[in-house]
Amino acid sequence: MAETGKAKTITIISGKGGTGKTSVTAAFASLAAPVVVADCDVDAANLHLLLSPEVEKSVDFYAMPIARINQDLCVGCGLCNDLCRYDAIVIQDDNYSVDPLACEACLVCKEHCPEQAIYTVERQAGYWFLSQARTGPMVHASLGIAQENSGKLVTEVRKAAADVAEEEKLDLVLVDGPPGIGCAVMASLTGADLVIAVTEATQSGLKDLIRVNDLCNHFKIPIHIIVNKCDLNPEVTQTVRKWAQEAKAPIIGEIPYDTDFTKAMIEAKTIVEYKSSRIGDELKNIWNTVLETMKSIA
Amino acid sequence: MHIAIASGKGGTGKTTVAVALARVMGSCVLVDCDVEAPNAHLFLNPDVQNTQDAYVMIPEVDDGKCTGCGECSRVCQFNALAVLGKSVLVFNELCHGCGGCVLACEPKAITEGGRLIGTMQWGKAGNLDFYDAKLRIGEPMSPPLIKALKRQAECLEAKNTILDCPPGTTCPMVEAVGGADYCILVTEPTPFGLHDLNMAYQAVQQMDIPAGVILNRAGMGDDCIQEYCKANGIPILLEIPHSREIAEGYAAGKDILSSMPSLEDGFKKVINTISEGLNNG
């Protein structure tokens, strides 16, 4: 890795869920140790199940404060309900209240309530953790159930990971990103030097890969591809190869369908720690390619 | 009867289950609410008859009328408006379309324009009514598109509806599952599957929606899901065996009933169990 002082960031994403993103991230973490890892899939964080981190610091995460109605002051005029665009005002037996799941925290209702009956409540929506895993420092998070602002929490996790890299003088951060192409994915892409998209050789995998590639192009971040379960359908794999060549998104590895990923997961091991596995060897080769690529990214 | 198919984690087989259930129900509405990665159409090849763009409202400021008072920026909770001197900067991507700035602007300098968030489409797949939508690349907020899609699909509200939902347990999932009569949680027998099932189950409990589990790839991992469901009193509606044949079929865009027709009875039973439960509950 280049000694530029500032850590480089590799973000692993997938478009579609369940393609093996977390298993690949964990394998890379084993091979790159000591390295900083950040689990930015805060909606469904799984990396800790493989890396068994010990929590050293836990920080509260606050989502935007939402509205609540003081029943003693409310006269039931209904203006809040007229103004709310999120259908978040619940009316039951002439009693007005706010549905916390629907409230977007815009506070239009509070601003315009003639009785000043609406106030805000802080919401402790989750935590993020600074931990020590066997691969080095790890930043991960736990978002409360049915909470929003996952993009904001992702940003906090990412920043904390960059800080710990600087403090501990580590030159690489591995980010396990969320699926999809929305808010949380965009937040996890910020600052990435290289994106590795893990896809599977299926019709849906290819379609979601194309959307993820569009997203990376939109943000001008180079993208490399790993095709998982490449032998499930040789025809689709061939289509992925052809598409990748045209899209100038190099395929840096192809991994056959193998239940070793699952077996390693059940033992809470990364695939390169799990006895001798042919896909473990394959991932070592892929990691070497990644290292070569990183040298060329200034 | 509106049935949502959710999972917490991605890749567990939500779309597989949604398509199979829609098939065995026959005439019903399938809404693919996973607008970030919509895939149900790959297995149904619908005949798309309509497409429609979806927008959210964003403020448009008339500089001629603006006095630079800063009220719009003060009321905006999302930092989507900034006042510099006498001109207002609008950061469209941060706007949640609440309309607060329009109400706050005394000189009435702010009107509402639209920001394209995605495109919806609908049509027929055999006797199914099919709906899906694609989030525009670079658009951070999917819940408004999911809401618009569900609203569009509800013009056929008399029929049964299957909602294929996005992964996770945050706002997109809550938006998609909201209002369903029943939620099927699809999972797989691994530590990842168990962890995310637990999150998803807590989410639907919080939404007060009855739920059951379909265990996909049964036999691939361990017995953690059966144990969890037993301990929490969650019905396991169906176990789909782990099979390379199904995986190969999926890769080629074949739905599960074509790869393994023997599962049809199982899916029919799932529908009956749910509808009986809802009628008695």
Instruction: Give φ, ψ of A223 to 5 degrees.
Output: -125, 130
pLDDT of residue B111: 96
Residue-wise pLDDT tens digits, B211-247: 999 999 999 999 999 999 999 999 999 999 999 999 9
Residue to substitute from B36, B151, B177, B246, interface A, most A β-carbons within 10 A: B36
pLDDT of residue B119: 98
How far, in Å, are A50, A267, A287, B186, B246 from residue B221 at the CA level?
15, 11, 27, 15, 17
**Interatomic CA distance for residues B144 and B150, integer angstroms:** 10
Q: Token match 């689709």: residue?
A: A236
- Which pair of structure tokens corresponds to residue B276? 């009986």
Which amino acid appears at position A168 of this protein? E
Say how far residue A182 (Cα) sits from the centre of its chain: 10
Q: Token match 């990412």: residue?
A: A158
Residues 6+ apart with CB under 8 A from B151: none
Residue to substitute from A13, A21, A82, A106, interface B, most B β-carbons within 10 A: A106
Q: What is the 3-state secondary structure (H, E, C) of chain A?
A: CCCCCCCEEEEEECCCCCCCHHHHHHHHHHHHCCCEEEECCCCCCCHHHHHCCEEEEEEEEEEEEEEEECCCCCCCCCHHHHHCCCCCEEEECCEEEECCCCCCCCCHHHHHCCCCCEEEEEEEEEEEEEEEECCEEEEEEEECCCCCCHHHHHHHHHHHHHHHHHHCCCCEEEEECCCCCCHHHHHHHCCCCEEEEEEECCHHHHHHHHHHHHHHHHHCCCEEEEEECCCCCHHHHHHHHHHHHHHCCCEEEEECCCCHHHHHHHCCCCCCCCCCCHHHHHHHHHHHHHHHHHHHCC
Residues 6+ apart with CB under 8 A from A244: A225, A250, A251
Residue to substitute from A42, A99, A262, interface B, most B β-carbons within 10 A: A262
CB–CB contact B199 A145 (8 Å): yes
**Distance (Å) from the C-alpha of residue A186 to the closest C-alpha of chain B?**
7
Band (B9; pLDDT cuts 50, 70, 90): confident
Say how far residue B199 (Cα) sits from the centre of its chain: 16
Residues 6+ apart with CB under 8 A from B73: B81, B82, B83, B88, B101
Which of A85, A182, A259 has its CB closest to that of B98? A85
User: If contacts are CB pairs under 8 Å, which of residues 32-51 in chain B contact chain A?
Assistant: 36-37, 39, 42
Specify burial of residue A201 (Cβ count, 10 A radius: 0-12, 13-18, 19+): buried
Which chain B residues are within 8 Å of A218, Cβ to Cβ? Answer: 137-138
Which chain B residues are within 8 Å of A211, Cβ to Cβ? Answer: 36-37, 134, 137
How far, in Å, are A196, A197, A212, A259 from residue A241 at the CA level?
15, 14, 16, 24
**Mean pLDDT on B183-211:** 96
CB–CB contact A16 B39 (8 Å): yes
**Distance (Å) from the C-alpha of residue B277 to the closest C-alpha of chain A?**
25
**Interatomic CA distance for residues B15 and B32, integer angstroms:** 8
CB–CB contact B36 A180 (8 Å): yes
B213 neighbors B185 (Cβ within 8 angstroms): yes
Flag whether residue B166 sits within 8 Å of chain A, measured between CB atoms: yes
Could you tell me which chain B residue has the CA closest to the CA of A22? B192
Flag whether residue B116 sits within 8 Å of chain A, measured between CB atoms: no
Q: Token match 């099979």: residue?
A: B243
CB–CB contact A233 B251 (8 Å): yes
pLDDT of residue A92: 93
CB–CB contact A202 B250 (8 Å): yes
Specify burial of residue B225 (Cβ count, 10 A radius: 0-12, 13-18, 19+): buried
Specify burial of residue B175 (Cβ count, 10 A radius: 0-12, 13-18, 19+): buried
Q: Give the residue from A190, A100, A186, A197 showing the smallest Cα distance to A150.
A: A186
Q: How many CB atoms lie within 10 A of CB B180?
A: 23
Instruction: Give φ, ψ of B5 to 5 degrees.
Output: -115, 115
Flag whether residue B73 sits within 8 Å of chain A, measured between CB atoms: no
CB–CB contact A43 B170 (8 Å): yes
Q: How many CB contacts within 8 angstroms connect chain A with chain B?
A: 184
Which chain B residues are within 8 Å of A148, Cβ to Cβ? Answer: 170-171
**Interatomic CA distance for residues B159 and B154, integer angstroms:** 9
Could you tell me which chain B residue has the CA closest to the CA of A48? B192
Could you tell me which chain A residue has the CA closest to the CA of B245? A232
Residue-wise pLDDT tens digits, B28-46: 999 999 999 999 999 999 9
Which residues in chain A come in under a pLDDT of 50? Answer: 1-3
Which chain B residues are within 8 Å of A46, Cβ to Cβ? Answer: 9, 191-192, 195-196
- Cis peptide bond upstream of A53, omega within 30: no
Q: Token match 């009628």: residue?
A: B279
Flag whether residue B204 sits within 8 Å of chain A, measured between CB atoms: no
Which of B138, B173, B178 has its CB closest to that of A215? B138
Which amino acid appears at position A294 of this protein? M
The sign of the torsion formed by the CA atoms of B78, B83, B88, B91 equals negative
Q: Token match 């209904």: residue?
A: A78
The sign of the torsion formed by the CA atoms of B254, B258, B262, B267 equals positive
**Interatomic CA distance for residues B216 and B18, integer angstroms:** 13
pLDDT of residue A149: 75
Residue-wise pLDDT tens digits, B134-166: 999 999 889 999 999 999 998 667 689 999 999
Specify burial of residue B87 (Cβ count, 10 A radius: 0-12, 13-18, 19+): exposed
Residue-wise pLDDT tens digits, B260-271: 999 999 999 999
Q: Give the residue from A190, A124, A123 showing the smallest Cα distance to A151.
A: A190
Residue-wise pLDDT tens digits, B79-133: 999 998 888 999 998 899 999 999 999 999 999 999 999 999 999 999 999 999 9
Which amino acid appears at position B140 of this protein? P
ipTM of the shown complex:
0.90
> Contacts from A91-98 at CB under 8 Å and sequence distance 24+?
A95/A71, A96/A69, A97/A68, A97/A69, A97/A71, A98/A66, A98/A67, A98/A68, A98/A69
- Which pair of structure tokens corresponds to residue A66? 């939402």
Q: Give the residue from A86, A16, A97, A81 showing the smallest Cα distance to B147.
A: A86
Q: Give the residue from B171, B7, B37, B119 showing the smallest Cα distance to A181.
A: B37
CB–CB contact A151 B140 (8 Å): yes
